[in-house]
Chains A and B, each alone.
Chain A
Amino acid sequence: DAGITQSPRHKVTETGTPVTLRCHQTENHRYMYWYRQDPGHGLRLIHYSYGVKDTDKGEVSDGYSVSRSKTEDFLLTLESATSSQTSVYFCAISGVGHTGGTEAFFGQGTRLTVV
């Protein structure tokens, strides 16, 4: 398995509370991604990073923020959790080969429930 660790693996939180999910990699890959996966929607990109302190929004970024202060860590923060953010969150990493993108490796996921 690629060296990706997500923490926590499961979390239940109350509406309105802030939540931070952590993704840690040991592969020194340039790109890191946060996705959410919901029934009928597949994987949807929340935010991604293409380097330390370089981040950009994905298609479902509202209500989420990210930070990448080190190559190995990519944090996803829900500023004020809502029930619509109940989901399974996946972190992924990928490098850039000499011919462009390379495969993305995924973490095991974090199941977040907002009550």
Chain B
Amino acid sequence: GESVGLHLPTLSVQEGDNSIINCAYSNSASDYFIWYKQESGKGPQFIIDIRSNMDKRQGQRVTVLLNKTVKHLSLQIAATQPGDSAVYFCADWSDGGNQFYFGTGTSLTVIP
């Protein structure tokens, strides 16, 4: 999981631009990673996942990159839209741990 901060990191982007949200994890045994999107008043929603035997995975308008050397994960959103405004956070899982570890998240604001 990530270290916990007191303040939620924020990212503002213009509509139509690409967004990159970053996440660092600490457990070198983590072998499965997920990005979630959480809109205000709702539960987290699955966006995309990646396993440790991959370094890149693409979905619809989203790409996740995994760098196991530096324990870093990123989420790229192409052509960001106002509906993408939300809090995004990553989670990691290790088979030996039986649980997910979540970061504190990044608040993305899309400027029309």
Contacts and interface: CB of A to CB of B under 8 A. Distances in A.
Given A33-B100, A101-B100, A103-B49, A43 B44 contact: yes
B interface, how many residues as a size bin?
20 to 34
B44 A90 contact: yes
A104 B100 contact: yes
A interface, how many residues as a size bin?
20 to 34
Contacts of B7: 40
By CB atoms of chain B within 10 A, which of A42, A99, A107 has the most?
A: A42
Contacts of A48: 98-99
Nearest to B42: A108
A52 B31 CA distance: 26
A16 to B, nearest CB: 28
A64 interface: no
A109 B43 contact: yes
Contacts of B36: 106
Interface of B: 2, 4-8, 31-32, 34, 36, 41-46, 49, 51, 89, 91, 93, 95, 98-100, 102-105
Interface of A: 31, 33, 35, 39-45, 48, 50, 56, 58, 90, 92, 94, 99-109
